[in-house]
Amino acid sequence: MRTPTLLLPAGNRQTFQTALRFGADAVYCGMDQFSLRAGADNFDSEMLGSAIAEAHARGKKVHVTLNIFARDRDIPGMLRAAAHARDLGADALIVSDLGMIAAMARNCPGIDIHVSTQANTTNAASARVYRDLGASRIVAARELSLAELEEMAAELDGIMEVESFIHGAQCMSWSGRCMLSAALLGRSANRGDCAQPCRWSYGLLERKHPEEPWEILESEGQGDTLLSAHDLCMIEHMPRLMRSGIACFKVEGRMKNELYVATVGLAYRKVMDACLKDAEPDSAFLRRWREELDKVSHRVYDTGFYFGPPAVPGMASGTRQAAEYMARVLEVSGGIALVEMRNRFFRGEVLEAVTPDGIVQFPVESIRDAGTGAQLDRVSVPLQRVEIPCTGEIAAGDLIRGPVRNRANT
């Protein structure tokens, strides 16, 4: 059985580099058109070409998303974009539209085509049809159970690869095919412009008294996120997933920052590597990396459809996180790290560096402004660059995190 790969998201060049550094075998990203994450920074031609070259230099791959449901007017531009991505060296295209899969296979030979999860592939027979059209992999529908994925992977073995999401935000609609954003705001989720109204807090109105909304007290004082799905987290089940026949494990998150990508990538990389050495890593090891995933911004975790119907949405409002992104390490020399601030931190407190080898705690013994040389008690200017002492385990590209703060008190 082939070794499964880890596919991490990138919404911009910085998260792309972070994904490469923190465990990705491949990175997926969007171009400046035809992607289902129009709100991400995405990649223009020059950025994409240099990103692909950097990934290939590290022995990693790049998958480019062209996964909107196409209108006739989109087709010429999508075919040009597909050919351009191929010419830049992209390894695969992620496509949801049936006609575009067939057209790209005909017009853009020399690049793999992966069928997006939006296409809602729930059986091996459908996968074979996509194979006949020229696709080499399906990103399975998120509504499938693990047993169904194992059965599909076995039936398609040697014919077509199966990829499956293992972590990140989930959608309240079937395979992400949602009309709520388009209906309420004229912004189509199926064309990359979802406003996420399913994450909003709702109340109850009585027709004759529209000025008096009634709160749903499940989330006292905030209304209730009764349409908002929980986040997916499968890290504790990776030993079975590694034996499932699934070729690639995918993390959602092209709208997330680099600390999210680094933390999630590191956790799954460590667990996947441990499973290759020992088919059943001990529960304490799995629990440790599961706890790391609580540090990033997330909704309540569950296992999606992997083991049956997911938890009822709306049981907990909003997001939570146990750590905050403080700074990015730009360079290290002589035990001093030059860092760029993301959130305020203070001299004397203990922070953590997220590194490709693990988590490193260190005290902030001093803070020196990199421009003026002034000694500081805290860093509070957005993107301010400062120098702080660090351990030899910390290097350029690592990310610094610290406690989540009450903004009113800092």
Cα three-residue angle 95-241-151, rounded to 5 degrees:
70
Decide which of 150 and 410 is more confident: 150
CA dist., res. 156 & res. 148, Å (int): 12
- Residue 389's domain spans which residues? 324-409
Predicted confidence band at 410 (pLDDT cuts at 50, 70, 90)? very low
Beta strands in 215-259 (DSSP E): 231-233, 248-251
Q: Do residue 236 and residue 330 come from a single domain?
A: no
Predicted confidence band at 91 (pLDDT cuts at 50, 70, 90)? very high
User: What is the reported pLDDT for 221?
Assistant: 46
Predicted confidence band at 409 (pLDDT cuts at 50, 70, 90)? very low
| DSSP string of 35-103, one letter each residue | -S-TTS--B-HHHHHHHHHHHHHTT-EEEEE--S---GGGHHHHHHHHHHHHHHT-SEEEE--HHHHHH
Relative orientation angle of helices 146-156 and 124-133, to the nearest 10 degrees: 40
Nearest to 192 by CA among 33, 28, 29, 36: 36
Predicted confidence band at 169 (pLDDT cuts at 50, 70, 90)? confident
SS3 180: helix
User: What is the reported pLDDT for 115?
Assistant: 98
Residue 407 has pLDDT above 60, yes or no: no
- The amino acid at 83: A
**What is the Cα 112 distance to its own chain's centre?**
21
Residue 166 in domain: yes
Give residue for tokens 């077509």: 160
Q: Do residue 284 and residue 335 come from a single domain?
A: no
Instruction: Tell me the backbone φ, ψ of residue 271, rounded to 5 degrees.
Output: -70, -40
pLDDT in tens, 381-396: 999 999 999 999 999 9
| Average pLDDT score over residue span 184-188 | 70
Q: Do residue 270 and residue 364 come from a single domain?
A: no
Residue 82 in domain: yes
Decide which of 35 and 274 is more confident: 274
pLDDT in tens, 212-237: 776 665 544 444 566 677 899 999 99
94 pairs with which residues across the strands? 65, 114
Q: Which two tokens stand for residue 26?
A: 């491949």
| Average pLDDT score over residue span 6-24 | 97
Averaging pLDDT over each range in 29-33, 93-97, 179-183, which range is the top one? 93-97
Q: Do residue 298 and residue 329 come from a single domain?
A: no
Nearest to 68 by CA among 18, 13, 116: 116
The CATH number of the domain holding residue 386 is 2.40.30.10
Q: Do residue 297 and residue 338 come from a single domain?
A: no
305 within 8 A of 237, measured Cβ to Cβ: no
Nearest to 13 by CA among 239, 299, 257: 257
Kindly report the average pLDDT of the chain as a whole number. Answer: 89
The proportion of the chain whose per-residue pLDDT surpasses 90, expressed as a percent, equals 72
Q: Do residue 108 and residue 246 come from a single domain?
A: yes
The proportion of the chain whose per-residue pLDDT surpasses 70, expressed as a percent, equals 85
Nearest to 127 by CA among 287, 245, 277: 245
User: What is the reported pLDDT for 342?
Assistant: 95
Q: Do residue 158 and residue 291 come from a single domain?
A: yes
Report how far apart, in Å, the C-alpha atoms of 209 and of each of 212, 214, 221 are: 6, 10, 19
Nearest to 257 by CA among 19, 20, 95: 19
Q: Do residue 296 and residue 330 come from a single domain?
A: no
**How many domains in the chain?**
2
248 half-sphere exposure, CB direction, 13 A CA radius: 22
Q: Do residue 334 and residue 298 come from a single domain?
A: no
User: What is the reported pLDDT for 408?
Assistant: 44
Residue 315 in domain: no
